[in-house]
Structures are given as structure tokens and as C-alpha cells.
Amino acid sequence: MPTGEELSKYYSDTYRFEYQFLRKALSQSHLARKNREVEKRIDQIGKVADLDTPLRSLDFGCGSGELVRRLGSMGHAAEGIEPGVSFSEHASKEAGGTAVVHSAGWNEMQFSPGSFDLITCLHVLEHLNRPLEALEKMADWLAPGGILFVEVPNMEGYSTKGFDRLHFAHTIGFSRDNLIHALQQSGFAVLHERGPTSIFCVKDGDPRGVDAGINLSAAAARIRSSYSEPLNVDRYLARHASRLRYVIGIELAR
């Protein structure tokens, strides 16, 4: 497991280009993709949480800030946490006075218990070397009756291996069973499974929580079997050729 110092150096020096093909912190292709994605996120959240009522929201790892900015523009008391300086500065600038963005790591924050009615943590947990501690913090910060929305890459959901599944940036690999196990160990109960690793939760003891059966041994056996299969090189190269075409097309259009 990489240390906090090793992860910090990696994200400062290498991550954006190696993982996202970016030579600078923010590109037009990144911003265009995130701006398209935010309305989808609002629709997903609106199916589970009452977004017509003002909420206190926290985006845990808000990146360039599209979601926290959108929630703020809807009248919610929206806050975000983002340790990447260039990303947090961009998010804060674009939000203006509609939302608050904290340029800090999650372990530096000192929110009071029950501070938020809605916490979103989207494609963040897999980057942490202490995800259980982070989830326990979120459980403490979530108000009774509040909702947590967690999403991570599904280790069982890729047609290709290599880069898509195994990468230094992803310190923990999740599939449905061990994600739910982590949530349950941290004080949450499943409210709604939007997908295998896209899950809405409530605090443990909330009557809305459902019984989400998991079988860690069976999941481990499935994944072990999958990883024993050889890499399909043609599929792997086609996958990354598609990603490169997308990024180059956005930059050329700009």
C-alpha cells in the first residue's frame, strides 16, 4: 500500500498524464466531459433525494467542482473538498458565491457531526489508502436521515484488464460485495443499488436501509478466475485508441 507521501508525489508529478493523458491540470476535454456528466448526476441523485428541499451537501473529492457548483446554483448549501490545488482553485472560482470549496484533504477537515444531509463520493474511494477511515468520517458528518452516494469503478465490470483494472492511482479494487462490506463496516446501510458499485446509503439503523446480501468468498473466487484469463491485446489496444481519439478530437475542435 503506498504511503500518503508517495501518493501525494504521484498525484503531483505523474497522475494527470499517465491516467488521463493530460499534460496540464485542466483541459478542455476534461471540462467538457465533466459538464456533460453533471446533469446526469443531478438526475441520479434526484431519484433518491428530495432536491426541491434545500439541503446541506458535501462533495467528497469534488475535482473541478461541477457537481458542487450545480447543487449550489439550485439553492442548496453546497460544499466540496478537493486536495488538488489547481482543481480546487478552479472549482472555487467557477462556483463564485454559490458554493464553498475547501482546498484540503479529507483528513484535514473538522466538520461537526451531522453537518450534511447529502454526501457524494464519486470515484474517490479507490484513490485512498485509508478508505474505511474516510467512510467513517462521512458517517459522522452525515445527519440522521441523510443520504450518501458512493460510486467507484467495478473491478468485475471491465472487458479489458491492464490499465483499466490495475493502476497505481487505484489503491483499492472494489466490486459490489466488498464495497457494501466496507460501507457496512463504516456505519452505513444500503438504500438503493443504482449499479454494482454505484450505491446510495443511509446511516446504519435508518429504517429505509435494506438487507444487501453479500458473499465475499464467492466474489473473490469470481475475480480470481477472471484475472487468470490472458489479456486480449486487440481489445486492449482498441480501447485505448478510442480514448486517444476522443481526447485529440476535443483538443482539435478547441
Mean pLDDT of 52-60: 97
Task: Please state the domain count of the chain.
Answer: 1
Domain with 232, as residue range(s), is 4-253
The torsion of the CA quartet 208, 55, 197, 80, rounded to 10 degrees, works out to -150
- pTM across the whole model: 0.88
- Residues 169-205: tens digit of each pLDDT: 889 989 999 999 999 999 999 999 999 999 999 999 9
Q: Which H/E stretch holds residue 57?
A: strand 56-60
Q: What is the mean pLDDT of residues 206-214?
A: 95
38-51 pLDDT, tens digit each: 999 999 999 999 99
Pairing, β 142-151 against β 198-203: antiparallel
Output the CA–CA distances (angstroms, integers) from residue 137 to 113, 117, 131, 196, in the order listed. 9, 14, 10, 23
How are beta strands 188-195 and 198-203 bridged, if at all? antiparallel
Residues 6+ apart with CB under 8 A from 80: 58, 59, 62, 65, 67, 68, 88, 91, 99, 100, 101, 102
Tens digits of per-residue pLDDT, 128-172? 999 999 999 999 999 999 999 999 999 887 766 665 667 788 899
Alpha-helix residue ranges (DSSP H) falling in the chain: 4-13, 15-20, 28-46, 66-73, 85-95, 131-141, 176-185, 216-227, 233-253
Any idea what the CATH number is for the domain that residue 209 is in? 3.40.50.150
Question: Would you state the cell numbers that stand for residue 209, as one nine-digit string?
Answer: 436501509
Residue type, 163: F
Question: Considering the chain, what is the average pLDDT of its residues?
Answer: 88
Query: CB of 178 within 8 A of CB of 217?
Result: no
Q: How many CB atoms neighbour CB 157 within 10 A?
A: 13
